[in-house]
Every structure is written in structure tokens, then in C-alpha cells.
Amino acid sequence: MATLKFKHFSQVDDLKAIHRHSLVAFLKPHEAFFTAKGLTLPTESSQDFDYQALTSLFISTDDLPQDLIEALYQVNEMATHEGMQDILERCDDAGIKLALEVDPAPTDVAVQAWLQAPEIFERAHNEYQLDRPRSFESFFNPDIQNIPPIKVPSADKLKSMESALTEWFSQKQCGKTVTILSFERDDGLWFLVRRGEPIKRQGAVLDGKSSSVVYRPEKHDVMVYTPALAELRISHVAKKERELYLRVFGKHLFENDQFFSERGKYTLDPLRRDGEDALVCSDIEGLDEIVLQEVRIKWGGQHKEFETRRAEDLFAAYEAREKELPRHAPLVLAKFRVTFTNTKKTRVLVIYPPNKINIKRHDDSTVLDAWMAKRGFIMNQTSEEDVENDVSVACS
């Protein structure tokens, strides 16, 4: 039996944290479905609500209405402390006062925003999709000095881009709906592409009988354009999809479908050249410590051999055994543990030359770019000042 996972709707205590009036209003459009399942939604005067039965429906029912599933997923993803603070700040800026009890739970805030301020909720959720941990590949225009400035694309231009993408994805049996949302942020222009994937069929049990559920998964792709670098970063997609995005964004933003090239951005040569000195970060504001924890070495040869070396501190491990990184075999991956200033938690940075990087939070990128440029991990850019200037120009 297929089971949907809604963390904040699968525990009775989480449901009880939502103001009952809000929960009933959230479920009311699907009252006929719940009645058919034997669950009666309470009225204003009713005191009883079978939270356990509702929880069981959410975690074990295969035929939830599709729009209810979408609402549950969105509320579930925003029902965190960070999501709550984001929603409350947006509502406060818009002059909207949510109908909340004293000390509301994150789930209650998410549900109430979904009911009272759907546009604000949708915007917050869309930006949440932008900020999920992702790996990115970077692509440039070599003629960086002569790139015309661009602004946030107009609605008409976004529609043209959507049409071009829809035509391609439709031919690939990925549905006929593509939506592009644009956001102006400190480090450039961000684009969220919402589109379908090929239809999936999954076995299920419906009304006690073996059956199947057919659905089209939704995928969110993210693009980030940094004007001063003429750089387009693309979240992980298949090769043909990556080529499509490069063509469409180049054509519609710069009237040149060959605008972005695949010249390399990242190198791991500093690890061999400078050893542990390549990890120095005392001159980068916002960073306390960087430790190399893993490298992947490409030996190649007849058997296409790769070797992974991993340790809590790889340079310390090599030193203890009087060893060093191989001098000639290419390094194709490096993983670093990063300690940021004013936080106890460490985060991971992964570099995959020549174009790919993996970071956990988008707002880490500026300080990590400064460090990588200063230490030589970013090619053709050698100072922290260069990166800071790039970002300031991009945001001006």
C-alpha cells in the first residue's frame, strides 16, 4: 500500500496544536471525502473531534483528493520554526494579522496563513523550494566585460520562456504545464521552474482490493543568474534538460541561445599545491574553520579505477602516516566540513570540478565563494575583493 508522509499531520499532538476552527476550515472543502471514510467533521458547537481517526486517514489512505494532497504537502513543508518566522514576518510586512492563539505552533501558523493569506503563503512556499539543499552546475559567457545588464524578466518574457520549455517537456512526455517564477535576491536573479515528470504507476490497495495509482510527479528546478559574473547556476538536472535551460535562458534573456558556455569554474589543484594551507579561512569574515574530509581520486586505466579517501580530518590522517595527496591523478571530488561564525552546527561543502558544487543553504554561497576565490578553487578569480565586488554590482 502506498503511504504518503506528512510529518506534521501524522501525530495526534501535532493536529491538536492547530486551532480546531482552523483545522476544520482547512478540511471543509473535502468534507464529502471524509464523510465517505466515516469521519464527520465537527461543527462549531461540537466538542468532539476524532484526531486519531484523522491521523490514520492521512498516513494510510491512498485516495486522498489531489488538491488536498497538495495542500498537505505545502503546509507540512512550511510547518517548521523557520517557516513560521518567515510567514509571520511576511504577514506583518503586509499588514495582515493572522487569527492565532497565544504561542501558536508552527503547524497552526502554516494552516492559518494558507487560509487567510494564500498569496503570501504561496510566495513563502515557493521561496522555500528555492532554498532546499541542492547541487548546482555553473555556466558562463566568456565576454564578461560586454554583457548587457538585465532586470527581472517581465511577465510576457516569462510566458515566452514557459512556452518554449512546455513544448520540449511535452514532447518528452512530461506534461504540458511549466511555470517559471522569478525572484530578485542579494546574489542575483533566482528562477524556480515547476514542471512535470513522466507519469508513474504505483501499486496500491483501494477499498480492500489490489489496484494502482497513476500520477505525474512534480519537479522543481532552480536557476540562479549572477549578472556581474555572467554566470547561470543550474540545479541538478539531466544532460538534455541542462542543455535546454541554457538555450532557453540564453535566447530569451540575451537573444542568443549559445550565450552560456561550459567552461570550467572550479579546480581542486590548491589541495595539492598548498596542502593544508589551502583551507585557511581566518581572512574570510563569517568562517571559523574548514576541514578536508574526503577526496575522490581518478586513477583511470583499463578498469576505470576510482579511489575514495575519507577521514574526520584527511590532511591530519595523511600526516600521521607520512603520506600526501597523489601528485598527478586527477581529484574529481572534495568534501569539506565548514564551521561558520556564530553557529555551533557545521555544514558541508562539496566541489565537483569543473562546474558543480553542493551547498546546504543558498545564503552560504557568498562567503564560500569568497573563500574559494581567495584560495584558488575558483579559476580566473583570485581575491575575496573580486567576489565581493561581483555581488555588490549584481545587486545594484
Spatial distance between the Cα atoms of 140 and 138, rounded to a whole number of angstroms: 7
| Contact call for residues 194 and 210 (beta carbons, < 8 A) | no
Phi, psi of 320 (to 5 degrees): -65, -30
- Residue 98, all three cell numbers: 493572522
Q: Which residues contact 97 (CB under 8 A, 6 or more apart)?
A: 91
pLDDT digit string (tens) for 97-153? 998 877 788 888 999 999 999 999 988 887 776 666 567 888 988 776 778 788 889
Question: Strand, coil or helix: what is 376?
Answer: coil
Which of 212, 216, 218, 217 minimizes the C-alpha distance to 63?
A: 212
Spatial distance between the Cα atoms of 15 and 41, rounded to a whole number of angstroms: 14
**Residue 338: per-residue pLDDT:** 96
Spatial distance between the Cα atoms of 378 and 226, rounded to a whole number of angstroms: 15
| Contact call for residues 252 and 157 (beta carbons, < 8 A) | yes
| Contact call for residues 266 and 357 (beta carbons, < 8 A) | yes
Other Cβ atoms within 10 Å of 368 Cβ, number: 26
Q: Which residues contact 131 (CB under 8 A, 6 or more apart)?
A: 361, 362
Q: What mean pLDDT, rounded, does the chain reach?
A: 83
Helix or strand (DSSP H, E) at 352: strand 346-352
Which of 27, 129, 40 minimizes the C-alpha distance to 72?
A: 27
**Residue 53: per-residue pLDDT:** 78
- What does the DSSP assignment read for 189-206? EEEEEEEE---EEEEEEE
| Contact call for residues 121 and 78 (beta carbons, < 8 A) | yes
Residue type, 373: A
**Residue 134: per-residue pLDDT:** 64
Which of 128, 131, 134, 130 minimizes the C-alpha distance to 87?
A: 128
pLDDT digit string (tens) for 300-348? 999 999 999 999 999 999 999 999 999 889 999 999 999 999 777 888 9
| Contact call for residues 83 and 89 (beta carbons, < 8 A) | no
Spatial distance between the Cα atoms of 243 and 246, rounded to a whole number of angstroms: 5
Spatial distance between the Cα atoms of 66 and 297, rounded to a whole number of angstroms: 46
Spatial distance between the Cα atoms of 323 and 306, rounded to a whole number of angstroms: 18
- Residue 333, all three cell numbers: 571530488
Question: Strand, coil or helix: what is 335?
Answer: strand
DSSP 8-state assignment for residue 231:
E
Q: Terminal CA-to-CA distance of the chain, rounded, Å?
A: 53
| Contact call for residues 350 and 344 (beta carbons, < 8 A) | no
Which of the residues in the chain have pLDDT under 70? 1-14, 44-47, 59-62, 129-134, 144, 201-215, 362-363, 380-396
**Residue 9: per-residue pLDDT:** 60
| CA distances from residue 59 to 8, 12, 53, 98 in whole angstroms, order as listed | 11, 12, 10, 28
Spatial distance between the Cα atoms of 179 and 129, rounded to a whole number of angstroms: 14
The model's pTM is 0.59
